[in-house]
Amino acid sequence: MKYRIRQRLFSWFDSFDIYDEAGNTAYTVKSQLSWGHCLHILDRNGEDLAVVQEKVLTMLPKFELYMDGQYKGMLKRRISFLRPSYDIDFNGWHVTGDFMGWDYRIEDSSGTVIAFITKELFHMTDTYVIDVAREEDVLCALMLVIAIDAEKCTASTSS
């Protein structure tokens, strides 16, 4: 199933709308004022499902991932030269990007593709399409996309 993640143009903090294949709002992402990114993923009824919280004062960017208030794991940028790569310490997943850092794939430990993430160009705001193979992996994959976008934002402001 495919989802389109579109950052809102007029917002004080990071906020996104996530649309299903039919164009309906499936989730929203709202930022909370904090030191570092703190992004809440809400369902269409406004219920808080997951949180992506940036760890500050680290050598490489790290983001803690929470679902239903429970710590699930961490996404951290890995040192790599030709393409962005991230380690994830839950689900046995790994994320690798292409040379330009626009397209990513999430794989499990056996190399099976969990999701493809594509950044759409020529939009006023960041827009991604995520194609997730299994419905039960959607929320975890969305957390990773939101964390990667926040990491890119952090990297661009610290340069």
| Residue pLDDT, tens place only, 94-120 | 888 887 778 999 999 999 999 999 999
pLDDT at 10 (0 to 100)? 64
152: helix, strand or coil: helix
Q: How many residues does the chain have?
A: 159
Where along the chain do its domains lie?
2-74+117-158
The answer, as to whether pTM is greater than 0.85, is yes
**The pair of three-digit structure tokens given for residue 36, joined into one six-digit string:** 């570092």
**The pair of three-digit structure tokens given for residue 35, joined into one six-digit string:** 């030191």
Distance of CA 41 to the CA centre of its chain: 10
Instruction: Tell me what percent of the chain is helix, strand and coil, each rounded to the nearest 5.
Output: 15, 45, 40
Which regions in the chain score pLDDT beneath 70? Answer: 10-13, 34, 154-159
pLDDT at 12 (0 to 100)? 56
pLDDT at 20 (0 to 100)? 97
Contact (Cβ atoms closer than 8 angstroms) between residue 1 and residue 129:
no
